[in-house]
Every structure is written in structure tokens, then in C-alpha cells.
């Protein structure tokens, strides 16, 4: 299990690399007495939170391992995080991505100097390809979520929220493979246990909620998860390391519909500071549309995990 000191060490490594994103208050309807602040990780250098874990992992490697180069498997944002961190640390990077990943994410990853290898849509398929290439070329694997150093890096988000909003009562976190929620929940519960940590994921990729309910990891098929517009959350199962953190520290996981995700994207797009890709809008969607399922809190934070939305899709949501 990741410790609070490991998350604090990650925060030191990330100074000057990852942005301490400032909370933005969401102005909702007057009839809702709850206050919502948004943690805009869309403002990171790569447009998403994934830089935190990737940099913490790669910067922790020995000089010998860095010389070998790194490889990862990603639907987009983690790949960009690894590519950015590898370039900063002068390490070769190879990114295995699904062929159906948004073009904006594929092009951005390549522009950061990484070698991009495309495979089919299944998360298991890209992981297998990365493992094969790692054996063949000696690359070090940088997992997207099932890794303690990745978790510690993502946990720095939780530390920043507590610094900026000490009276926060609930934090809403997107869930894909479980890296972010593992880190954030660990940072929060080991610092201020009274704060509720609520995971949010698409109904069409609701494996984390199913796993939490069943008490064991539940896997969804690639054909199931590929139906959601939230491309960054199409993982078929959460990682074993992540599951242990989720079981210990997460209070609940709710799921949101595709219409609710679209509604949240549209609302967030009205403010340039909070523009979110569909995956980045799910936490806000959980807060906005599932009030009856949530704890009775007044001061809340929803994490915008990323803002790498296709320009044409953004025009659609803005009605341009």
C-alpha cells in the first residue's frame, strides 16, 4: 500500500514539472445549496493529470533503467504523460495506443517525441503488445495505473485539494483503471479521514463499481467499454494494486449515463478554464446528476482529469 510519505515525496519531485492547478468554483443553479469547486487538471502541460504519475515513475528509475528506455500502453493521456516525462528526462519512450484513440491524442503523443505503436481497441491487447516489446527490446514498462509510484504521483492531487480547500467535505474522482482514485483517496484518508471520496465512471464501463460491490475485480469486455464516449475510461478492469486501495479508502462509486456525461461536458465548456474531454467531465456529472445517491455535503470538489477534447466535438457541445 502507498504511504502518505510516498505521496509527499512525489510532490517534491513534481515541483516545477506539474502545475499546482487552482480550484475554480462552479456556478450552478441557485436552487442547489451545495458548493462545487473544480480541480482543473486540464491545465497541466499535457492537458491532463497523467503527467503526475508518469513523471514520478520515470524520475524514480535508476540511471541504468533510464538508458533502456520506457514503454507504456495507453488510450491517450497517460501516453502523453509518459512521452512528456521521458522527453524532460532524456529517456526513449514507446507508446502502444488503440487505433481508435482520438487523433488529437495520437498526434500530441508523437509530437512529444515518442514512438507510437497502434493496436486494436482492447486494453488487454495494448498491454500484451507493450509487454512483448518490453521483452524484445529491454524497455522498462510504465503502467498506466497498476503501480505504486504511479498512484503516489496521482495522489498529489489530493494533497493540493486539502491545501487549497481545507474544509472540503467530499471529492469526486473519475475512475478508469483506478490510478487517480487510488492516489487521491490514499492522500485524503491518511490526512483527513472525514472527507468522503466518491468515484465516478460511465455506466457503460462500470467495472469499478461492480468490483467494489462484488468484493473482487470484475472485468468488462472491450466491446462493452468501447461504447462510452469517455475514451479515457474504457479500461476493462481496475488494477489489483488499485483495487486494494479502493477497497480500503473509497467511500462509494457511482455511474453516469452517456447523456449525463454530455451534459457535464457542455456545462464545463462554458468556462475556458474548465473545458473537459468526456472522461474529464464524469466526476462533475456524478455530482450534478446523482444528488440523491450522494452524502449530504456542502463543500465539494470534482476533478477534471483532462481537457484533450477533439475540436470538432467541442464545437458541437458549444453549439458553434
Predicted confidence (pLDDT) per residue in 57-110, tens digit: 999 999 999 999 999 998 789 999 999 999 999 999 999 999 888 888 889 999
Kindly report which listed range (87-96, 167-176, 259-268, 303-312) carries the lowest average pLDDT score.
Answer: 303-312
Residue 36: domain span = 4-48+147-318
Claim to verify: residue 237 and residue 132 sit in the same structural domain? no
Claim to verify: residue 183 and residue 240 sit in the same structural domain? yes
Claim to verify: residue 293 and residue 313 sit in the same structural domain? yes
The CATH code of the domain that includes 191 is: 3.40.50.1100
Boundary-marking domain end, from 141, 157, 188: 141
Claim to verify: residue 176 and residue 119 sit in the same structural domain? no
Claim to verify: residue 186 and residue 208 sit in the same structural domain? yes
Claim to verify: residue 254 and residue 281 sit in the same structural domain? yes
Claim to verify: residue 186 and residue 283 sit in the same structural domain? yes
177-193 mean pLDDT: 98
Boundary-marking domain end, from 108, 141, 174: 141
Claim to verify: residue 181 and residue 236 sit in the same structural domain? yes
Claim to verify: residue 284 and residue 299 sit in the same structural domain? yes
Domain count of the fold of the chain: 2
**Is the Cα torsion angle 202, 206, 208, 213 positive or negative in sign?**
positive
Q: At 212, is the pLDDT very low, low, confident or very high (cuts 50, 70, 90)?
A: very high
In this model, does residue 318 exceed pLDDT 80?
A: no
Burial label, 27 (beta-carbon count in 10 A; 0-12, 13-18, 19+): exposed
Q: At 320, is the pLDDT very low, low, confident or very high (cuts 50, 70, 90)?
A: very low
The span from the CA of 207 to the CA of 204, in Å, is 9
**Is the Cα torsion angle 116, 99, 222, 108 positive or negative in sign?**
positive
Average pLDDT over all residues of the chain:
95
Claim to verify: residue 264 and residue 293 sit in the same structural domain? yes
- pLDDT of amino acid 30: 67
Claim to verify: residue 137 and residue 256 sit in the same structural domain? no
- pLDDT of amino acid 319: 67
Q: At 251, is the pLDDT very low, low, confident or very high (cuts 50, 70, 90)?
A: very high
Percent of the chain with pLDDT over 70: 99
Claim to verify: residue 200 and residue 63 sit in the same structural domain? no
The alpha carbon of 248 is separated from its chain's Cα centroid by a whole number of angstroms, namely: 19
Boundary-marking domain end, from 87, 114, 141: 141
22-26 mean pLDDT: 97
164-187 mean pLDDT: 98
- pLDDT of amino acid 172: 98
Amino acid at each position: 500500500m502507498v504511504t502518505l510519505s510516498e505521496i509527499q515525496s512525489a510532490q517534491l519531485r513534481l515541483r516545477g514539472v506539474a502545475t499546482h492547478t487552482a480550484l475554480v468554483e462552479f456556478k450552478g443553479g441557485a436552487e442547489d445549496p451545495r458548493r462545487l469547486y473544480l480541480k482543473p487538471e486540464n491545465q497541466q502541460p499535457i492537458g491532463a493529470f497523467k503527467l503526475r504519475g508518469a513523471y514520478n515513475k520515470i524520475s524514480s528509475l535508476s540511471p541504468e533503467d533510464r538508458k533502456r528506455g520506457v514503454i507504456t500502453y495507453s488510450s491517450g493521456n497517460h501516453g502523453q504523460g509518459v512521452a512528456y516525462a521521458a522527453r524532460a528526462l532524456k529517456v526513449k519512450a514507446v507508446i502502444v495506443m488503440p487505433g481508435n484513440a482520438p487523433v488529437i491524442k495520437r498526434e500530441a503523443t508523437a509530437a512529444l517525441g515518442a514512438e507510437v505503436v497502434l493496436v486494436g481497441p482492447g486494453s488487454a491487447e495494448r498491454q500484451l503488445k507493450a509487454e512483448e516489446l518490453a521483452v524484445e527490446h529491454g524497455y522498462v514498462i510504465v503502467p498506466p495505473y497498476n503501480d505504486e509510484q504511479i498512484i503516489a504521483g496521482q495522489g498529489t492531487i489530493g494533497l493540493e485539494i486539502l491545501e487549497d480547500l481545507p474544509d472540503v467535505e467530499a471529492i469526486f474522482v473519475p475512475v478508469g483503471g483506478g490510478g487517480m482514485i487510488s492516489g487521491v483517496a490514499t492522500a485524503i484518508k491518511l490526512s483527513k479521514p472525514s472527507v468522503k471520496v466518491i468515484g465516478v465512471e460511465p455506466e457503460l464501463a462500470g467495472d469499478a463499481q461492480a468490483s467494489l460491490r462484488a468484493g473482487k475485480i470484475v472485468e468488462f469486455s472491450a466491446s462493452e467499454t468501447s461504447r462510452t464516449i469517455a475514451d479515457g475510461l474504457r479500461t476493462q478492469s481496475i488494477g489489483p494494486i488499485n483495487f486494494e486501495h479502493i477497497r480500503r479508502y473509497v467511500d462509494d462509486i457511482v455511474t453516469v449515463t452517456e447523456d449525463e456525461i454530455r451534459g457535464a461536458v457542455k456545462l464545463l465548456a462554458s468556462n475556458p478554464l474548465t473545458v473537459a474531454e468526456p472522461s474529464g467531465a464524469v466526476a462533475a456529472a456524478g455530482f450534478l446528476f446523482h444528488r440523491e445517491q450522494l452524502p449530504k455535503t456542502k463543500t465539494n470538489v470534482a476533478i477534471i482529469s483532462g481537457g484533450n477534447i477533439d475540436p470538432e466535438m467541442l464545437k458541437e457541445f458549444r453549439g458553434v
